[in-house]
Every structure is written in C-alpha cells, then in structure tokens.
Amino acid sequence: MSHPQVLFPQTTFTGPSLLQARRETIQQVTVKAQLKKLRETGQYECFNLKWQPIYDDKSRWPSPPPVYWDSDVAKWIEGACYMLTEQYDVEIDAAVRELVQMICDAQQEDGYIDVYFTVIEPGKRWTNLRDQHELYNAGHLMEAALAHSNYYKNDLLIEVIHKYIKHIRQVFGPGKEQKHGYPGHPEIELALLRFHSVTGNQDAYDLAQYFIEERGNPTGQDGMPYYEWEREQRGDSPWKRPDCYPMHPGLWYSQAHLPILQQKTIEGHAVRALYLLTGVANLVSLDELGIRAFTGKQQYLEAIRTLWNNMADKKMYLTGGIGAMMQWEGFGIDYFLPQGSDEGGCYNETCASIGVMMLAERLLHVELNSKYADVMELCLYNAGNAFAYVNQLASSEKDKNIRAAWFDTSCCPPNVSRLFGSLGGYLWDYGGHGQDVFVNVHLYTTAKVSFQVDEYAIVFEQKSNWPWEGNIMFQLEAPPSANTTVRLRIPTWANGKFTLTPTLKPATIKHGYLALPPSYIRNNKAFSIQIHGFEPRYISPHPYTNQHTLALARGPLIYCVEDVDNPWEQDHFRNVGITVGSPVSEQKCMIDDMDEHYIGLRATGWVRKVNHRSHTEPGQAPGFTVAAEATKEAKELTFIPYYLRANRGGKGHMRVGLLNVD
C-alpha cells in the first residue's frame, strides 16, 4: 500500500504555490522552533530515563503531560526526517541522531519503551489503556522509525520497533494469558499497518487486526468491556473519571462503546475516531490492493462508509472542521454545529481535520470518489491547515480570534509538520501493472511525480495557480508503449463544469473524476484543464443545524470576515448578515510582512438591529413581539480566506457564517 509518508519523496514541488509556501515556512521555521521547544520543556532529554522535576507534578489526572512526551519526540523525528529529505540541516540531523540513539538505549530488555511507565510509574505498565498512552506512543515511535529509515537508509530504529512489537504481541491478544485490550487513543493500528507494509512484520499486521476487531467487545475480558475490567483491577470507582468523560462510564470517548461494525454514528474524541478509521481503511485497502486478504473487508468498508457519511453530512463544519464539543474534543449529536464557544461549541482541533485527510487518502485507494478528495482538500486549505489548535467559526469575547503561538501547543504543530512534510504523497495516487499505468490526481498545485511501473519510468507534472485559479497544465513523460490513464478530480463545487484542452469526446465524469483514456494521453503528452466554479459562491450549512447562516466560498477556500478589514464591528459579527445573490467582487490583496498574496472578497451585507424588542427593561418575560418589518443597516463587508485569519492584528473578531435572515 502506497502510504503518502512513504511515497512523498517521489513528488517534488516544482514551482511556487500556496502549498509550497506553507511547506517552506514549516521547513525553515517550524521544525527548528519545535526542536527549541522540545529542549525547553525537557522532552528532548526524556528518553535518557532520568528523573525530571516536572515528573512530580501529578495535578493533571489521569494523564500528566509526560505521558505523551514519547509521542511528541517521535512526531518531531518523523517531521524532521521528511524535512531533511528535502533540505539538509546540520542541527536537525544531529538532533535526530541523538534522539534516536537515546530511544534505542531506552528500550528495556523485554523490548518495552515508554518513558512514563519506566521512570515515573514503573509498576503500572499496561494497567490503564483507557486513559494512558503507551500504545499511542508506540505507534508514533513506529512512524518515526519508518521516516528515519526512509531518510537515513538504516534500520537503527526499525530494529528497536521489531523488538517492541514482539513484546506487545506477547502482552495483547486472544490467548488466555494475554490482555484482551486495545489502545485508548488509537494510532498504533495505522502505524502497525504501515510498518507491516514496509517491513513485512507479521506480528504488526496481526496486532493491528486484533486491536481493530477486539475493540468495543462488550464481554472481552472476564465478561466485561476491557476498560471496565481494567478499571476494576485498579480498584477505581466507575464514577472516578477524567473531565473529558461527561458521564460514566464514557466508553464512547475512546471508541469503545460498540464494536466498530456496530457503530452507526461517529462519536467521542474526534482524533481518536479518525485515527482508528484510518487504520481500518488501511486494513481494508491492503486487501483491496491484493497485498493481504482480510475476510472482514466488505463489512468494515461498509462501517467506514456509514461513519464517514454521518460525519460529512451531519457532524462537519463548512471549513472541514470536526468536533463541536470542547469538553471531549469530539463529536456532538447530529447537526449540532454551533459556530463558537459562546453558542455552545466548535472545537475543531486541527489534528482532527488532519485525521480526516488521512482517512480520505486511504479511502481513495479503495474507492475512487471525489467526495473523499473534496473533503481532504477542504480540510487541507481550511480547518486542517492553521497554526491554531482549535478552529472555531466565530469568535467571542471569551474566545477571541487569535493565532496561538504555535509552539505553545504540543499536538497540532508537529502534526502539521508531518502532514506538510509528506504532502507530496497526498496529491495523487499512481501505479499500474505491466503496460497499464494510472495517475489519479486528487489535489492540484505545481508539482512533479516520478515513479516506476515495472520497467516503465513515468514522470507526470502539473502546473497551476491553485487554489486561486482553476487552470492546470499537465505534462506526461512515459515510454510510447505505456497505456496511461489519467483521472482528474472535478470538485463538487465545480458542478461538473470544466474545459479540457485538447478536448475529449465523450468526456464522462465517474464518481467525480474525469478519466482521460490511454488513447487521449498517447496523443496529448501535454494537456490542460480549466476547472470552473471559481466565482465566489454562497454556501450554507445543512438546514437542520439551525444556523440560518450564509458563508462565502471560492474554489476550495472558505472565507470569513475579520474586524481588521471591517473595523466598525464591535460584537464579533453576531448581528451581521448577507443576502443570497448579492454581487461579490474580488480583489487582489497582500499581507506585506508575510509576503502573502490572496484574493479578498467584498459584498454588501447588513447589520441587524436587535433593539426592536418590545421589552422595556431587563428581566421581563421572554418572547419578542415580532413585527413584520425589521431594521437593517446596509454595510460593505470585506472577506478574507479563513486560513489567513488572525494574522493582521485587530480586536479578535471573526465569523464565517453570517446571518441570512434578520
């Protein structure tokens, strides 16, 4: 299976583009800044297994920060290795080498590696899978090992992981003496399957399958759900629970309320849910691609489709954000999508949208459907892109529109580094057998991929000014005897409208992809497509969300209003509306000190006057007497792409969805 994290070096970003600009920032600034942060916090040293004063702090129950430190280091190594692949840096190289050596030395005789349960609570290994993160940390170590081996071309970390997997395989499984558990925070499943794909490690595959199939078993251990059983073993009351569990026992938080095959709605912690489903999609795709048979394939694929549809149709924001509920960083009930914390929610963690991208990428190998790529792109350019930990759609006095200094959070920035480091692997899917070659293009930018299908060397290039303009030029280099099929995504918002040059008749779109057959490609090594639909459009969330809002979008970008462009605003645009069909004008803009170019939008909207109430003093019975005419004042509104929000000062007022009615 062609994981983007493995294949990305085959893709080169060959010219300027929005994605490439982001990649450069991350390579030049982010990875080093993260390293600085790792050193400041003590994380850099953690694998030396020496006591640190912070380990005494037990105030954050049940998971003090050092519980996750292994994964923070591992994620940094992974992102750093992606960066080194493209651009050597002596400091980064030295740090990776030192950290990897520390990890190797930290491995215990039996193969176990985990700082917290080696140094801080050594007697408590594997006693709280529900809340702790040993298996999650292990998963990230595996991903670091793969990235490390990919760049350094040695098996230093890979060997460590083989040994650790062997140990984990002994601890967990269906055997009488084994624990029938699974990770509270899924991640290891997708990591194990990647590890299996690269190294062929059989235990890795078996463990991943076991964790996926055993998950949610209501009678898994001594007739109980595993997490309930281990809780009883610890002697904890069922009512003693982390704050992210609003009620006991809260198994849904960790995706353990039901076996995956029985879940009909996506629930709980969003990142956990998406990482888990990515692992399941991996398992399915290994069968689909003929790499390894999986008897549950059809059933699990159906389960993923059900949960994907529930998510996209009922639990996803216009920006691709997921996770309305801050308390459990996860999903609320169907259609509960308030725009900000002062309206009842809107957490939308960046990592969760990155999880959506990972899942979408895996699904595109199993069934080519532009709905997955559309959502993947939506997340990439909007909720999954920002250097913000959360991505609310509207600010409030309590939760202003502020770009967090990215290094103050531990989880999302490294994930952004990993994503953008391996981004080349998300652009397209390609391969073939014998003479038959295919390239499925999911994302447009300026980039080139070089790959081999049997004896055929293929080079395929795209050039565009995406996401600002819809024209993309393609160039294929392939031996004359290759039968190459190229499939191009036609985004749903293009409404099937495009102009292909030279033309192809009949040109049919199947599941959102325009297929260019070998006959076309043979005659046109260079061709271009103009994707239509770049005029600004009014979009709204599903009517059942009760939002009654309108937002502006253009191509894959969602727009917002900010007070810096609309300085008259005093109340977070709570009373600001727009009217469907009002003309929208475009404007080339630039943020000088960031050298950031973008297309801004302008439209005439209005401000609602809330003072038309019949109430004369505070504390009267609720209920406005409604008059047929309401007061509105026209206002010129300036919009900026959501991903650029909070970059230019201002008072911190921002909103995506504006009123569409008074």
CA distance 426 to 421: 11
| Smallest separation (angstroms) from its own copies to the CB of 629 | 9
Other CB atoms within 10 Å distance of the CB of residue 435: 15
The helix-helix angle for 412-421 and 31-41 (nearest 10°) equals 150
What 3-state DSSP class applies to 125? coil
Distance of alpha carbon 131 from its chain centroid, rounded?
22
> Of 480 and 623, which CB lies nearer to its own copies in the complex structure?
623
Integer-rounded Cα Rg, in Å, for the chain is 25
Q: Do residues 639 and 530 make contact, with C-beta atoms less than 8 angstroms apart?
A: no
| Smallest separation (angstroms) from its own copies to the CB of 627 | 7
| Smallest separation (angstroms) from its own copies to the CB of 511 | 9
What 3-state DSSP class applies to 542? coil
| Smallest separation (angstroms) from its own copies to the CB of 487 | 18
CA distance 635 to 618: 29
Q: Do residues 577 and 658 make contact, with C-beta atoms less than 8 angstroms apart?
A: yes
> Of 111 and 321, which CB lies nearer to its own copies in the complex structure?
321
> Of 386 and 458, which CB lies nearer to its own copies in the complex structure?
386
> Of 314 and 487, which CB lies nearer to its own copies in the complex structure?
314
Token pair for 466 = 């995406």
> Of 293 and 627, which CB lies nearer to its own copies in the complex structure?
627
| Smallest separation (angstroms) from its own copies to the CB of 148 | 35
| Smallest separation (angstroms) from its own copies to the CB of 409 | 20
| Smallest separation (angstroms) from its own copies to the CB of 621 | 4
Phi and psi, residue 579, nearest 5°: -120, 130
What 3-state DSSP class applies to 282? helix
> Of 190 and 375, which CB lies nearer to its own copies in the complex structure?
375
> Of 503 and 620, which CB lies nearer to its own copies in the complex structure?
620
> Of 312 and 447, which CB lies nearer to its own copies in the complex structure?
312
| Smallest separation (angstroms) from its own copies to the CB of 60 | 11
| Smallest separation (angstroms) from its own copies to the CB of 660 | 8
> What does the angle CA 74 – CA 78 – CA 81 come to, to the nearest 5 degrees?
135
| Smallest separation (angstroms) from its own copies to the CB of 626 | 5
Phi and psi, residue 624, nearest 5°: -85, 140
Q: Do residues 529 and 472 make contact, with C-beta atoms less than 8 angstroms apart?
A: yes
Phi and psi, residue 635, nearest 5°: -145, 140
Task: Tell me whether strands 632-641 and 557-562 are parallel, antiparallel or unpaired.
Answer: antiparallel
Strand partners, 550: 658
| Smallest separation (angstroms) from its own copies to the CB of 371 | 5
> Of 246 and 479, which CB lies nearer to its own copies in the complex structure?
246
Burial of 532 per CB tally in 10 Å (0-12, 13-18, 19+)? middle
> Of 96 and 553, which CB lies nearer to its own copies in the complex structure?
553
CA distance 121 to 642: 44
DSSP 629: -
Q: Do residues 563 and 569 make contact, with C-beta atoms less than 8 angstroms apart?
A: yes
> Of 290 and 581, which CB lies nearer to its own copies in the complex structure?
581
> Of 25 and 614, which CB lies nearer to its own copies in the complex structure?
614
| Smallest separation (angstroms) from its own copies to the CB of 648 | 26
| Smallest separation (angstroms) from its own copies to the CB of 412 | 21
| Smallest separation (angstroms) from its own copies to the CB of 628 | 4
Q: Do residues 66 and 115 make contact, with C-beta atoms less than 8 angstroms apart?
A: yes
> Of 83 and 312, which CB lies nearer to its own copies in the complex structure?
312
Token pair for 51 = 């006591």
CA distance 192 to 291: 15
Token pair for 313 = 């149709």
Strand partners, 179: 172
Q: How far is CA 339 from CA 314, 345, 358, 397, 433, in A?
A: 14, 7, 25, 14, 48
Q: Which long-range contacts (CB under 8 A, 24 or more apart) does 456-461 make?
A: 456/432, 456/482, 458/430, 458/482, 458/484, 460/428, 460/430, 460/486, 461/14
> Of 142 and 514, which CB lies nearer to its own copies in the complex structure?
514
Phi and psi, residue 131, nearest 5°: -105, -30
> Of 93 and 342, which CB lies nearer to its own copies in the complex structure?
342
CA distance 572 to 382: 20
> Of 154 and 614, which CB lies nearer to its own copies in the complex structure?
614
DSSP letter string over 408-429? Answer: G-SSHHHHHHHHHHTTHHHHEE
| Smallest separation (angstroms) from its own copies to the CB of 239 | 5
Q: How far is CA 185 from CA 64, 135, 269, 542, in A?
A: 15, 8, 9, 31
Helix spans in 89-133 (H): 90-106, 115
| Smallest separation (angstroms) from its own copies to the CB of 290 | 26
